[in-house]
Amino acid sequence: MAVETLWSNKVRSGLTMLGVIIGISSVIAITSIGQGVQKATELKIEALGTNILQVLAASARTGGISQGAGSASTLTWEDAQAIAKQVPAATAVAAFLYSPNIQVVRGNVNISTTGIGTDLNFPRVSNIQPQQGVFFSQQDLDIAKPVAVLGSKVRDDLFAASENAIGADIRIRGKRYKVIGVMESKGSVGPQDMDDRVYLSLTNMSAEIVGNNALTGVAINGFLLESSDADQLESAQFQVTNVLRLRHHIRPPQEDDFRVTNQVDIIKTFTSIMGSLTLMVGAIAGISLVVGGIGIANIMLVSVMERTREIGLRKAVGATSGAILNQFLMEAIVISSIGGAIGIGLGIALAFTAATLFKFPFVVPLWSVVVGFGLSLIVGVLAGGIPARNAAKLDPILALHGE
């Protein structure tokens, strides 16, 4: 019967449903998109490996005076090599130098990318392999040979799809380099685009591009350390810190001139920020659902006033107050559950579109569907309840005469 009366006034029912549809679909879409992005980040963590430490040079402080940028780096290749030997938890160490803005030129194409100078362990530790050609060899490293390995984006920027990049010449800082490899595509991890890079040998980068020297040996910006597994990471962190303090003559009250970070931690922080963001936006969507509920209550109240004659007549032909209460409650529940179902469908469709468009995994958390539908029912019952009580209380004669 509720369905019949609702169907007999499609416009009013439709408008009432709209609030619920908007509320539920935004709750579902937002939580689904949030979860999708989080899932994507988790996949990236797994791709990166959960057993990697990053050690970066920090500016050295001597007697409380910061030596500032451009001064000698505090970490050297020798430090990295010592760590590889002296830290039992380390299974591989890749030293690196980087320059965020280097010009790479081929013919009249000129792009700016990130330059990474590193050693042979980098592909293993960063879990990235050449897709074409090779990474540089020990010999290339030893003689600082001018060879370059391109990130997939850099390759696409410089070469047409049909061209073969391997063996081609490019210019970096005016010097000629031969392309010997192209890395596989990895996408972005956090803020870094793993594909927008050019890899050189550490020795060549140090001699030709960056050119600043440590007090002793080859300066580096830092190194990546691989441990046998995630459980070993904490002991590796402890050991690295101690070895470096020993080598740099730093005693604990003194500040370290290096920084040990754990990639997993960084990404976990990112994920948890994403999580709370999702929760917050989801909550806002939830509030909009409540507002939708107030809308239903309002429309139902107006409809009770509009329908006083109907209520009076129904009572005259034998409806009890309970029957009227039921009718209005049922109408509210039917409206909000149909609205809820449409909203869930729409929300899932929105989330699917976003996931396909922005290429992250499509996940619809079951709880959001359950919570969304539950909320719409609660909203329906509460928002329908008050007008229904008013309707049931109407005196039949007054209602019959009411305009």
Partner 1 sequence: MATIILLKDITKTYHLEAIDVPVLKRVNLSIEQGEYVAIMGASGSGKSTLMNIIGCLDRPTSGEYFLAGINLTTLDDDELADIRNQYIGFVFQQFNLLPRLTSLANVMLPMIYADVDRSQRIEQATEALAQVGLSDRLQNSPNQLSGGQQQRVAIARALVNHPALVLADEPTGALDSQTSQEIMDLLTELNQQGTTIVVVTHDVDVAARTKRVIRMLDGVIVENTQASIDFRLKN
- Which positions lie near partner 1, rule CB under 8 A? 1, 4-5, 8-9, 309-310, 312-323, 396-397, 400
Minimum separation from the CB atom of position 41 to partner 1 (A): 53
Complex with partner 1: residue 181 or 312, whichever CB lies closer: 312
- Our CB check for partner 1 shows the closer of 197 and 307 to be 307
234 vs 395, beta carbon nearer partner 1 = 395
Packing angle between helix 263-306 and helix 366-393, nearest 10 degrees?
20
312 vs 380, which CB is nearer to partner 1?
Answer: 312
Rounded to the nearest whole angstrom, what is the least distance from the CB of residue 8 to partner 1 in the complex? Answer: 4
CA distances, 223 to each of 1, 25, 130, 262, 302 (Å): 73, 46, 20, 12, 70
> Which of 56, 174, 200 is closest to 114 using CA atoms?
200
- What is the nearest approach in angstroms of partner 1 to the Cβ of residue 317? 4
Q: How far is the CB of 320 from partner 1 (least distance, A)?
A: 4
CA-based nearest residue to 247, from 258, 234, 237: 258
As given in the structure block, the two tokens for residue 181 are: 């490899």
Shortest distance (Å) from residue 377 CB to partner 1 = 25
> Judged by CB, which is closer to partner 1: 130, or 312?
312
Side-chain-side CA neighbours of residue 319 (13 Å) = 21
Side-chain half-sphere CA neighbours of 205 within 13 A: 27
Residue 174: how many other CB atoms lie within 10 Å = 8
Residue with smaller CB distance to partner 1, 312 or 387 = 312
Report the nearest approach of partner 1 to the CB of residue 389 (Å).
Answer: 15
Q: Which is nearer to partner 1, 4 or 46 (CB)?
A: 4
Smallest gap, in angstroms, from Cβ of residue 42 to partner 1? 54
Compute φ and ψ for 74, nearest 5 degrees.
-90, -15
In order, the DSSP letters of 338-389 are: HHHHHHHHHHHHHHHHHHHHHT------HHHHHHHHHHHHHHHHHHHHHHHH
Q: Quickly count: other Cβ atoms within 10 Å of residue 287's Cβ.
A: 11
Whichever of 133 and 396 has its CB closer to partner 1, that residue is 396
> Smallest distance from the beta carbon of 338 to partner 1, in angstroms?
19
Closer Cβ to partner 1, 178 or 393, answer by number: 393
Rounded least distance, CB 281 to partner 1, Å: 40
Output the DSSP codes for 166-206: TT-EEEETTEEEEEEEEEPP--EETTEETTSEEEEEHHHII
Rounded Cα distance between 323 and 266, Å, is 60
Half-sphere exposure at residue 167, Cβ-oriented, CA atoms within 13 angstroms: 2
Nearer to partner 1 among residue 44 and residue 315 (C-beta):
315
CB of residue 395 vs partner 1: minimum separation in angstroms? Answer: 8
At 396 the three-state DSSP class reads helix
Compute how many other C-beta atoms are within 10 angstroms of the C-beta atom of residue 92.
17
Quick check: 215 and 72 in contact, CB under 8 A? yes
149 contact partners, CB below 8 Å, separation of at least 6: 130, 133, 134, 135, 136, 179, 180, 181, 182, 183, 198, 199, 200
SS3 255: coil
Q: Select 9 or 228, whichever has its Cβ closest to partner 1.
A: 9
Of 24, 26, 23, 17, nearest in space to 300 by CA: 17
The minimum distance between CB 14 and partner 1, in angstroms, equals 15
